[in-house]
């Protein structure tokens, strides 16, 4: 049976061809001599390995056939209409890069290009080439030409070709670019690993750093036949961004049906693959902007751990239930045969939201949890199933907060004080609160104010106790204390490995729980986070909760989801804010880059709501008329009230859309959802609707804040718009009625209506 290797290009098929392509490739994998396949060489082709095969009467596949002691292998390059396929086959070659041994598919336009891309050093061209000057009189003063700089200033052609193995023509063109747009165009048309290398260099990485990220070294010594060498080159880390070996028909189906949106399941950047597979002697933190593939790494790492350690108890968790359900579905799509654990403590991968995780610990503890509740709350209880509504803080403030300044008489202040100070330090008495550390809280409290604050906290706890409820953070703290106590008494831990997504949104008690789940050992905690996406909770420093990351932290900078234009707009929304990561370090975003280009985001101002809805209806109709798959279009809004308004308003204008809250996105219609709900999703086209003054930032109108809390709330609102904008893969539009939100004041895009 032949081995099938798919290219990323071959996985991007028109929906009408997917069933036929699957049938063709399934037959090819069973028996390539089947007459109906018509596997045929092409006369006059640039590569003797090239073949075409009959998909149906109008379409043919372009393949490369190779043989080795293990049998026959086919690399499937793509499927085209018959005549186009013949043209592609004649001028396409599959070869090894002579510098680094990476297998590459290249297009040969002229016979002269049949030579290897780089063998000998390529001369460095002049950075500034002046036209031949006309004769001038002797007394003329020569004009001094200054240096011309570009994205790759300081990188020469020799380094690109001899050190990295980038094609000479691509290298010369890249060095000569004078703008990021020019470089992006060149990178987008180059062999994938070469284009990404250029983008990393433009982001300031050195040649050696790029080689390390891509796993590039010197080309191995020739071994075996040319076919065997190429088959080995297909397994190079850099080649695996573009090629994947198909193990069975089920994997073939997933690759074909996934297409561009499913490429993450099989085509990994070497850097992503490294983090998914590497062993770490303790907790590891992976940061990166939206769309850089952090969740992809987590899913692949969960699979790798489960395969490497049969029977291991692996917990994969995140902040919200929706995100956990999405990760569970994606894990199923990645590997349907992966062992899954339905309950905490079972062998396999257990996927759950962080609050559900805490509840599971408390249920399993049963009556034994009473003394742990005593440690956290000062009063023992086993009735911990109910959750205290946020409004109880308001009642407690009204009853006992009269002695506090107005700025502190807010539920947001008390919820944050309780979560950040009281629960992590297990404070149960007034005296302990007087002595408590309040690092990073942003507002000083003298003894009198602390006494008044504690009165409110005691009232809150008393009201909750009467209702037999605890809040979510209390549940996590009690669960953490219980797990620590059981482990200290010799009961062991309930997990071997814990993988955390969206770490920036977790509260201190959540980190206490996560630290207690697996104990301290190699590969205990793997944390993915992006401080720019913190849309819940307050700032947290991991070291305060026993999670030491020192020396085990890396950052992803290449965006795979959205275009450079959309990414630039989204990042500009963050301008003016100061962000810190989970290690209390400044979070920079200047070196984030996208590997894709597209149109500038569209700005759609309107005089009122009716006009804004008219604009939205016209935009969605244009996208649908252009053939965009309906459910890959999203309208994102600030709250549920606005979502209902948009659904009804668009319906009145003849555009049927579906509101999505907790349920799964269904095919057939564009979706409307809140910006919070959109976290963890991606769409081909996105409209941010209602980003108007007075609507965004919404959080600042809902609560009374002290200055520090107001500043942090504004950061979260900027992050929310950033999250929403980065859901768009191909096109982004932003609309508002009246005056636009001040959050958009520094954002730049196309002119209104362009």
The secondary structure of 28-56, three-state, reads: HHHCCCCHHHCCEECCCCCCCCEEEEECC
pLDDT exceeds 50 at position 140: no
Q: Which of 190, 184, 189, 123 is nearest to 157 (CA)?
A: 123
Q: 349-385 pLDDT, tens per residue? A: 999 999 999 999 999 999 999 999 999 999 988 888 8
Cβ atoms 61, 39 nearer than 8 A: no
Measured in residues, the chain has a length of 754
In the predicted structure, residue 112 carries a pLDDT above the cut 70: no
Mean local confidence (pLDDT), 448-454: 95
Average pLDDT over residues 523-537: 91
658-680 pLDDT per residue, tens: 999 988 899 999 999 999 999 98
Q: Is the pLDDT of residue 597 over 80?
A: yes
Q: How far apart are CA 306 and CA 684, in angstroms?
A: 33
Q: pLDDT tier at 704 (50, 70, 90 boundaries)?
A: low
Region 81-100: mean pLDDT is: 96
How sure is the predictor about 644, in pLDDT bands with cuts at 50, 70 and 90?
A: very high
Torsion sign over Cα 224, 228, 234, 235: negative
Range 584-602 average pLDDT: 82
| Structure-block tokens of residue 308 | 């490497």
What's the CA gap between 513 and 361, in Å, rounded? 10
284, 526 in Cβ contact below 8 A? Answer: yes
For 286-306, b/e burial (b = at least 16 CB within 10 A) is bbbbbbbbbbbbbbbbbbebb
What is the rounded CA–CA span in Å between residue 140 and residue 492?
87
Mean pLDDT value across residues 227-234: 95
Q: Is the pLDDT of residue 50 over 90?
A: yes
State the pLDDT at residue 749: 58
pTM value is 0.85
| Cα Rg of the chain, angstroms | 29
Residue 110 has pLDDT above 60, yes or no: no
Give the DSSP letter string of 477-531: HHHHHHHHHHHHTT---S-SEEEESSGGG--HHHHHHHHHHH-SSTT-EEEEE-G
Long-range contact list for 25-32, CB < 8 A, 24+ apart?
A: 25/61, 25/76, 25/246, 25/252, 25/256, 26/249, 26/252, 28/2, 28/4, 28/53, 28/74, 29/1, 29/2, 29/3, 29/4, 29/246, 29/249, 29/252, 30/1, 31/1, 32/2, 32/72, 32/74
CB-facing half-sphere around the CA of 633: CA atoms within 13 A:
24
pLDDT confidence tier of residue 141, bands split at 50, 70 and 90: very low
Residue 260 binned pLDDT confidence (cut-offs 50, 70, 90)? low
Q: pLDDT at residue 750 above 70?
A: no
What is the C-alpha separation between 695 and 673, in angstroms, rounded?
A: 16
Pair 155, 126: CB distance under 8 Å: no
Among 62-66, 149-153, 719-723, the range scoring the smallest mean pLDDT is 149-153
Q: Answer whether 697's CB lies under 8 Å from 713's CB.
A: yes
- How many Å apart are CA 169 and CA 359, to the nearest integer? 60
User: How large a percentage of the chain has pLDDT more than 70?
Assistant: 91
CA distance 497 to 524: 5
Non-local CB neighbours of 651 within 8 Å, separated by 6+ positions: 657
Q: Give CA–CA dist 138/157, Å, rounded.
A: 37
Q: Record the tokens describing residue 326, joined without a space.
A: 């999405």
- Residue 399 binned pLDDT confidence (cut-offs 50, 70, 90): very high
Instruction: Give the confidence band of 710 by pLDDT, cuts at 50, 70, 90.
Output: confident
Mean pLDDT value across residues 440-446: 86
Q: Distance between CA 498 and CA 407 in Å, rounded?
A: 39
Q: Are strands 103-107 and 243-246 parallel, antiparallel or unpaired?
A: unpaired
* Of 190-204, 564-578, 640-654, 663-677, the least confident: 564-578
* Cβ-Cβ contacts under 8 Å for 209 (sequence gap 6 or more): 200
Pairwise pLDDT comparison (111 vs 89), residue with the higher score: 89
Confidence check: pLDDT of 132 > 70: no
The predicted structure's pLDDT at residue 263? 75
The per-residue pLDDT for 109 is: 72
Whether the Cβ atoms of residue 166 and residue 152 lie closer than 8 Å to each other: no
Q: Is the pLDDT of residue 716 over 80?
A: yes
Token reading at 734:
């932003």
Instruction: Answer yes or no: is pLDDT of 294 > 70.
Output: yes
Residue 124 in this model has a pLDDT that exceeds 70: no
Task: Kindly tell me the burial class for residue 712, based on how many C-beta atoms sit within 10 Å of its own C-beta (0-12, 13-18, 19 or more).
Answer: buried
Distances, alpha carbon 446 to alpha carbons 112, 181, 270, in Å: 81, 55, 53
């Amino acid at each position: 049976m032949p081995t099938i290797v798919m290219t990323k290009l071959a996985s991007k098929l028109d929906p009408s061809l997917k069933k036929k392509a699957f049938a063709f490739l399934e037959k090819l994998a069973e028996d390539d001599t089947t007459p109906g396949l018509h596997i045929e060489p092409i006369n006059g082709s640039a590569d003797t390995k090239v073949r075409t095969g009959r998909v149906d009467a109008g379409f043919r596949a372009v393949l490369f056939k190779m043989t080795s002691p293990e049998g026959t292998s086919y690399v499937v390059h793509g499927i085209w209409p018959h005549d186009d396929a013949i043209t592609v086959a004649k001028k396409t070659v599959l070869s090894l890069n002579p510098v680094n041994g990476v297998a590459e598919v290249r297009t040969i336009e002229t016979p002269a290009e049949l030579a290897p891309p780089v063998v000998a050093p390529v001369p460095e061209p002049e950075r500034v080439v002046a036209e031949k000057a006309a004769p001038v009189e002797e007394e003329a003063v020569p004009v001094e030409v200054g240096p011309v700089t570009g994205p790759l200033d300081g990188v020469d052609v020799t380094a690109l070709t001899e050190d990295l193995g980038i094609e000479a023509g691509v290298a010369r063109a890249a060095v000569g670019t004078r703008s990021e747009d020019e470089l992006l165009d060149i990178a987008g048309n180059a062999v994938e690993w070469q284009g990404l290398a250029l983008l990393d260099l433009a982001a300031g990485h050195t040649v050696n750093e790029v080689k390390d990220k891509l796993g590039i070294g010197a080309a191995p010594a020739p071994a075996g036949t040319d076919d065997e060498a190429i088959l080995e080159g297909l397994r190079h880390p850099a080649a695996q961004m573009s090629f994947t070996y198909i193990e069975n028909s089920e994997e073939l189906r997933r690759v074909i049906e996934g297409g561009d949106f499913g490429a993450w399941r099989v085509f990994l950047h070497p850097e992503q693959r490294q983090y998914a597979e590497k062993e770490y002697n303790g907790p590891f933190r992976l940061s990166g902007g939206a769309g850089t593939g952090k969740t992809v790494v987590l899913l692949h790492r969960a699979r790798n751990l489960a395969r490497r350690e049969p029977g291991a108890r692996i917990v994969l968790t995140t902040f919200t239930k929706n995100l956990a359900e999405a990760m569970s579905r994606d894990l199923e799509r990645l590997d349907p045969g992966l062992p899954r654990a339905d309950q905490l403590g079972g062998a396999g991968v257990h996927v759950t939201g962080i609050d559900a995780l805490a509840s599971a610990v408390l249920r399993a503890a049963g009556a034994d949890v009473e003394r742990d509740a005593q440690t956290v709350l000062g009063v023992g209880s086993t009735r911990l199933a109910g959750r205290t509504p946020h409004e109880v803080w308001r009642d407690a403030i009204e009853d006992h907060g009269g002695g506090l300044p107005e700025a502190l008489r807010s539920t947001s202040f008390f919820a944050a004080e309780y979560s950040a100070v009281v629960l992590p330090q297990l404070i149960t008495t007034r005296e302990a609160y007087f002595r408590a550390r309040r690092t990073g809280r942003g507002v000083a409290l003298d003894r009198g104010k602390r006494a008044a604050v504690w009165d409110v906290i005691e009232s809150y706890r008393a009201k909750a106790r009467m209702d037999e409820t605890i809040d979510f953070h209390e549940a996590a703290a009690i669960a953490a204390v219980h797990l620590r106590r059981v482990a200290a008494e010799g009961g062991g831990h309930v997990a071997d490995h814990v993988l955390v997504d969206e770490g920036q949104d977790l509260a201190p008690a959540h980190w206490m729980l996560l630290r207690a789940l697996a104990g301290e050992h190699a590969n205990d905690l793997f944390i993915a986070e992006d401080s720019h996406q913190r849309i819940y909770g307050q700032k947290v420093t991991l070291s305060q909760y026993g999670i030491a990351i020192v020396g085990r932290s890396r950052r992803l900078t290449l965006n795979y989801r959205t275009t450079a234009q959309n990414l630039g707009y989204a990042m500009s929304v963050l301008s003016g804010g100061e962000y810190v990561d989970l290690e209390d370090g400044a979070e920079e975003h200047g070196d984030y880059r996208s590997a894709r280009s597209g149109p500038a985001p569209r700005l759609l101002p309107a005089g009122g709501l009716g006009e804004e809805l008219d604009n939205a209806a016209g935009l969605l109709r244009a996208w649908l008329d252009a053939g965009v798959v309906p459910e890959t279009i999203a309208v994102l809004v600030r709250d549920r009230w606005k979502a209902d308004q948009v659904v009804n308003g668009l319906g009145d204008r003849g555009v049927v859309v579906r509101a999505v809250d907790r349920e799964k996105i269904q095919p057939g219609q564009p979706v409307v959802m809140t910006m919070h709900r959109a976290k963890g999703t991606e769409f081909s086209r996105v409209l941010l609707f209602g980003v108007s003054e007075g609507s965004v930032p919404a959080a600042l109108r809902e609560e009374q804040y002290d200055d520090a809390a107001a500043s942090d709330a504004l950061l979260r609102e900027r992050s929310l718009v950033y999250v929403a904008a980065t859901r768009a893969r191909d096109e982004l539009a932003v609309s508002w009625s009246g005056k636009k939100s001040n959050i958009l004041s520094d954002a730049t895009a196309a002119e209104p209506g362009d």
